[in-house]
Amino acid sequence: MNSKISLVFSFFLCLSASAQQGKAEPQNSPKNGGTCDVIRDIKTPISHIFDPATSPSIWMMPTDQEAEMPLPGGINEDLRREIDAARSARLNSNPIQNRGIIHDKPTPPNSIITERQRGVEVPPGGGTPNDNHIAVGNDGKIVSVMNTVIRVHNDTGKIVKAFTLDFFANNPNIKKDPIPTMNRTYDPRVMYDPYKDRYIVVFMHGTTNKNSFIIVGFSTTNDPAKPWNVYKIPGTPIQDTVWSDYPIVSQTKEDMFFTVNLLHNGSSWEEGFVEAVIWQLNKEDGFNGDTMHKNFFHNIKYNGVSIWSICAIQNGPMPDGVDNYFMSVRPYTKENDTIFVHRITNTQRSGQANYELGVLKSPLKYGFPSSALQPDTAFRLRTNDARVLSGVRIGTQLHYFQNCLNFKTMQAHILHGSIYNLTLPNGATRMGLFKWNEGGAVTKAHLFTNDSLDFGYPAVAAAGEATTSELAAQDPSMIVTSVYSGAKHFPGTGAFFINRYGEYSDYQILKKGQSIINYTFIKPKEQRWGDYEGIQAKFNEKGIYYLVGSWGKGNSMSAYVARLKIKDTVADNPISTMRVFPVPTTENLNIEFQVNTEATINGQVFNLNGQSIGIESGLSGNSGATEDRSRFTLTVEPGTHRYALHTHGLAKGVYIVRLELAKGSWGFTSSDPQSFKFIVQ
């Protein structure tokens, strides 16, 4: 287990006060220069009810519809060319020794293996690149969306209904908020609500202020081939010559959120970017077909400058709670370490949903990623920029993923950032009450690399054993999917796993590409291979995940929908030694060990000077602290056990926990006393 000390940074908040409906009130914070305006309780009537049965099924898209999708907020072209030129120079002077195969060594025994149980190839969906997203219901029905097409699959993956997004909104029913004929749909997203057993679809229309709006659809049953309630959200919400682009979605038990970037007409992102905004919608209104109640958060700035590209963070393992987090970085800079953390504090219906902004630093610098290689290196694949593309909150932790430059090799790789110290105030135990510890947040970062492959567009899902968010921090496992490509590998889809100890599995290819990507209407070194991918846990089936990814076929991108099963070799096979995690700890230190007979184990906590240290609450489990609060005793049955040592009462520093069998007890694989250092931040 890697036990590097993480860096600690101060964290400040920017709180917005209440604003009247239809009127934004600016809120300035002298602590960190943050601002935010909020317009509360905006009301939007339902537009119409759409029945997919009224639309013809589309099984193959006409080739004349293969137009290029809008870039997700644009690219810093000068910087991209500079980085790609530096990579080409490196390749010419000191070529990377790309392996012909990925797994030249056994998969680490303590890693997680991703087993593909089945998969289905999905036809292209009108346009390039593939904008992929997926949702799966508890009964196994799947909704996959790609560019201009929405597809409904049964539990085997077979497509039972497919139609274009313009049919989704155009309907002859009476429309209270007319939706014009649509001819520019793109960027679809989809979510499944496990509490209501329903689906939500979000997609964009238009690339100017004249035709920009957002469609949000709520399924009326658990069958996505049945009718949907449809709402139209304005794409020009600040009444300016702007349009909305690149939505990212998340949900809590009561609300759904989506973020978009507002851009000026006819401008690049660098020149035309105006601001990134957050919409908060009440889900119950949408499922019932009632007037939609919404909050709108905008004018989100730091030191007077709009923060670029806000990523909505998922909540795991279940989408519960009343608050939601969001992440941003400075996505088009050559090298940076600034992290922006946003939070909406409460539900839309409460009338008390406020905005908070935190500014931290990453211990690893991120940078604008290079274009990905292909076996024909004359054709490169854009990786767009370094924005945060996906993230998940697991218990008291935030984890986020972004495309990133590997500064050593000039490859495009994936940065995994982690933020700890979301502590519970006043002893609260339910989700939605987390706040940043006054002592400062803890940040960690890891660059996931491969010497043969470039990566792009990561998407993450929580994958631990916990079934409730309160217990999730005990097992912050995650599964991450992405696309890949390389000088000896056609573009395809794969995944990797991060287990509860923070160890990374090897990258596993799930769908191998069969060709390069070469769209004739795009320049060879500016080919498009994705904007985002999708992955979701099947909420009622442990260890099962569904993903949609892209792969090269016939010189273009196809999609692939797969059902995966996680095989946790640590969970399935008893451990042979003790383990402690996470390191550093901010709340609980988990101690995991195996005994093969009934045993009594004594433990004690020391500082580095050898002095015994009292612990606040002992260990959670069948046994607790003794009268001497530095000592504890555990009596356990045969098997593998995990206990949580409560460390939130300890001062910051390095400590040692010592565990040994009591006299007359046997059972450890190793019977010698075992000591572990742990860090409290």
H/E run at residue 51: none
Task: Give me the residues paired with residue 661 across strands.
Answer: 601
pLDDT of residue 475: 78
Residues 483, 616, single domain; the answer is no
Q: Of 162 and 126, which is predicted with more confidence? A: 162
Q: Report whether pLDDT(368) > 60.
A: yes
* Domain-ending residue, one of 539, 571, 603: 571
* Contact status, residue 487 vs residue 374, Cβ threshold 8 Å: yes
Residues 73, 150, single domain; the answer is yes
Q: Which of 66-80, 279-293, 566-580 has the lowest mean pLDDT?
A: 566-580
Residues whose CB is less than 8 angstroms from the CB of residue 101 and which lie 6 or more positions away in sequence, other chains included:
none
Alpha-carbon gap, residue 191 to 184, rounded angstroms: 22
Q: Of 489 and 443, which is predicted with more confidence? A: 489
Examine residue 387 and state whether it is found in any structural domain, yes or no: yes
375-402 pLDDT, tens digit per residue, is 998 999 999 899 999 999 988 789 999 9
Residues 553, 616, single domain; the answer is no
pLDDT of residue 437: 45
Q: Of 535 and 178, which is predicted with more confidence? A: 535
Examine residue 12 and state whether it is found in any structural domain, yes or no: no
Percent pLDDT > 70 in the chain is: 72
Examine residue 561 and state whether it is found in any structural domain, yes or no: yes
Examine residue 567 and state whether it is found in any structural domain, yes or no: yes
Alpha-carbon gap, residue 80 to 100, rounded angstroms: 27
pLDDT of residue 652: 76
- Which residues span the domain enclosing 424? 43-51+59-100+111-571
Q: Report whether pLDDT(678) > 70.
A: no
Examine residue 8 and state whether it is found in any structural domain, yes or no: no
Query: How far does Cα 115 stand from its chain's mean position?
Result: 21
Residue 71, Cβ neighbours under 10 Å: how many? 17
Residues 421, 324, single domain; the answer is yes
Residues 564, 584, single domain; the answer is no
Q: Which of 39-53, 123-137, 145-159 has the lowest mean pLDDT?
A: 123-137
Residues 401, 515, single domain; the answer is yes
Q: What is the mean pLDDT of the chain?
A: 79
- Mean predicted confidence (pLDDT) in 259-283: 88
What is the SS3 assignment for 154?
Answer: coil
Q: Report whether pLDDT(43) > 90.
A: yes
68-127 pLDDT, tens digit per residue, is 666 665 556 778 788 878 777 766 554 333 322 232 333 343 445 566 777 777 776 666
Total domain count, the chain: 2
* Contact status, residue 247 vs residue 255, Cβ threshold 8 Å: no
Percent pLDDT > 90 in the chain is: 45
Alpha-carbon gap, residue 475 to 144, rounded angstroms: 29
- Mean predicted confidence (pLDDT) in 473-480: 83
Examine residue 2 and state whether it is found in any structural domain, yes or no: no
Lookup result for tokens 């949609």: 548
Q: Cα angle at 508 between 402 and 411, to 5 degrees?
A: 45
Residues 513, 655, single domain; the answer is no
C-alpha dist (Å) from residue 453 to 461, 488, 509: 22, 8, 11
Q: Report whether pLDDT(10) > 90.
A: no
Q: Of 255 and 626, which is predicted with more confidence? A: 255
Residues 220, 270, single domain; the answer is yes
331-342 pLDDT, tens digit per residue, is 988 999 999 999
Q: What is the CATH number of the domain that holds 631?
A: 2.60.40.4060
pLDDT of residue 527: 92
Examine residue 301 and state whether it is found in any structural domain, yes or no: yes
Examine residue 551 and state whether it is found in any structural domain, yes or no: yes
Residues 620, 670, single domain; the answer is yes
Alpha-carbon gap, residue 219 to 415, rounded angstroms: 35
Q: Of 499 and 310, which is predicted with more confidence? A: 310
Q: What is the CATH number of the domain that holds 512?
A: 2.130.10.10
Residues 493, 618, single domain; the answer is no
* Domain-ending residue, one of 521, 537, 571: 571
Residues 504, 612, single domain; the answer is no
Lookup result for tokens 């908020």: 177
Residues 473, 584, single domain; the answer is no
Alpha-carbon gap, residue 381 to 596, rounded angstroms: 53
* Domain-ending residue, one of 571, 597, 630: 571
pTM: 0.83
pLDDT of residue 156: 86
pLDDT of residue 82: 81
pLDDT of residue 87: 75
pLDDT of residue 311: 97
**Which stretches of 132-242 are DSSP H helices?**
165-169
